[in-house]
Chain A
């Protein structure tokens, strides 16, 4: 093989590799509306699953890699967390525990009110006192 062609192939491979590495390093996080929905569940069923078998619920709803779940339920409360985030807490049937869905303020549906039946897509991170979902987005009904 011509030496110049070989050098060109090597340089090309290095440039492609560097470009891939740079783009991978700077890759932004996927949002909940960009990924397929892995599980569809009510807030009540989600809390019941975690409270009865946390390990199994972690495997199913949190997953080993990031996955999106869709949770439906009635809004118990809407609570600002800080300047940029708001929690939407969904009813679970247990007054001491809810499904807490954290939204970036720009993703929150401004028409939502306490008591409304809503659907949320988000990344489940597990159970503390409540089941926690982060990076949530509202599901718009068609």
Chain B
């Protein structure tokens, strides 16, 4: 065995933990969150395509964060009220989630398939943190891309978001939140 071969083998051995780790950690900077409020008066929908998320399949740890001012509404007035009156985005510029995803293992993420998962942890909106448990699904594609999605309900009052009486009928008491993350291996 030549010195060159020994060096190459040494390099491969040294890189193995990194390669394994790379297959177990996933991230995105372009996740999509939609929220939807429906009342007899009007329907309100907003989109945020700048969700940052990191998932470590070996531990299940998952985090995501969004900038409140990156939510886009159809109408300017809705967006202004959302930022200035309800979310107070100058005081609370971000919402985030820190928790754990169960229902898929680090071994399973190496095989294409669809998995039913549960994400549990702390959801912080408007500066108020609530412990939540959210159902979801993970689709592992043949190329290794992981698509995670979830739909859940958030109550504004749970996060001390006050809705003025004059627009109370325009905004639903429960807001449907949809999360779609396309996570790439790190």
By a beta-carbon cutoff of 8 Å, the part of chain A in contact with chain B is 24-30, 58, 62, 64, 66, 79, 81-82, 85, 87, 100, 102, 123, 125-130, 132, 134-135
Contact = CB atoms under 8 A, between A and B. Distances in A.
Nearest to A26: B75
A85 B29 contact: no
Interface of B: 29-30, 32, 49-50, 52, 65-70, 72-73, 75-77, 79-80, 90, 93-94
Main secondary structure of the interface of A (DSSP, over half): mixed
Given A58-B93, A125-B50, A134-B70, A79 B30 contact: yes
Contacts of A87: 30
Nearest to A89: B29
Main secondary structure of the interface of B (DSSP, over half): strand
Contacts of B29: 100, 128-130
Contact of A27 (B52, B65, B75, B93): B75
Given A29-B79, A62-B69, A132 B50 contact: yes
A55 B68 CA distance: 15
A33 to B, nearest CB: 16
Nearest to A58: B93
B50 A24 contact: no
A81 B49 contact: yes
Contact of A128 (B32, B65, B76, B77): B65
Most A CB contacts (10 A, CB to CB) among B30, B50, B68, B80 go to B50
User: What 6 A-B pairs come out closest when comparing CB atoms?
Assistant: A125-B69, A125-B70, A128-B52, A125-B67, A126-B67, A29-B76
Nearest to A84: B49
A79 B68 CA distance: 22
Most B CB contacts (10 A, CB to CB) among A28, A85, A129, A132 go to A132
A140 B50 CA distance: 26
A126 B67 CA distance: 7
A134 B50 contact: yes
A115 B17 CA distance: 34
Contacts of A62: 69, 90, 93
A129 B29 CA distance: 8
